Amino acid sequence: MKINIEEIEGFGETEINIKCESVSSEILEFINEYKLLDTRIWGVLEKESYILNPIDIYYIETIDNKVFAYTRNRVYEISHKLYVLEKMLPSKYFFRASKSMIINISKIVSIKSLLNGKMEANLDNNEKVIISRANVFLFKEKLGVNKRYE
């Protein structure tokens, strides 16, 4: 991949143009990475507003019609609905684990199947989250767990 940068005095808003024969996985990955860097989410903790970097979020959960973002040590209330956050956050890192939760898959250190068809993901801050039975297949597919190695 070749990268060209052109500085133009007084140009205005920066734009990125991608010229390619066809859209490759490498290009899609670049776009997802850029989106992650460019996405900021406002969270409230003790009546103070904070800008959250999505990569610091472990999971986002809806409880009693309120949305909360969990980081390593803190919990912030978020004003966006879960379905809006799902569209905002890059799918490379975030996965809809259930109707009420989105998880950051880059924070997962281990997973295990549960007897009821659900899965449990252990995050690197030692929290455990549940992937609903309805989403287990897609979750395994996203992680490459369903692939057989020969």
Residues 34-57: tens digit of each pLDDT: 766 667 899 999 999 999 989 899
Asked if the structure places residue 13 within a domain, the reply is: no
Q: What pLDDT score was predicted for residue 27? A: 80
Cβ atoms 59, 104 nearer than 8 A: yes
* 83-to-79, 88, 118 alpha-carbon distances in Å: 12, 9, 22
Cβ atoms 77, 67 nearer than 8 A: yes
pLDDT tens sequence across 101-149: 999 999 999 999 998 999 999 999 999 999 999 999 999 988 887 655 4
For the chain, the domain total comes to 1
Cβ atoms 120, 129 nearer than 8 A: yes
Asked if the structure places residue 86 within a domain, the reply is: yes
Asked if the structure places residue 10 within a domain, the reply is: no
Asked if the structure places residue 131 within a domain, the reply is: yes
User: Could you tell me what percentage of the chain is helix, strand and coil, using 3-state DSSP and rounding each to the nearest 5?
Assistant: 25, 30, 45
pTM over 0.85: no
Q: What pLDDT score was predicted for residue 89? A: 87
Which region, left, alpha or beta, applies to residue 37 given φ > 0 means left and ψ of -120 to 50 means alpha?
A: alpha
Asked if the structure places residue 11 within a domain, the reply is: no
Question: Residue 37: which of 15, 18, 53 has the closest Cα?
Answer: 53
Asked if the structure places residue 82 within a domain, the reply is: yes
**147, exposed or middle or buried, with CB in 10 Å at 0-12, 13-18, 19+?**
exposed
- Looking at residue 49, which CATH number applies to its domain? 2.40.50.1020
| Domain membership of residue 105 as a residue range | 25-143
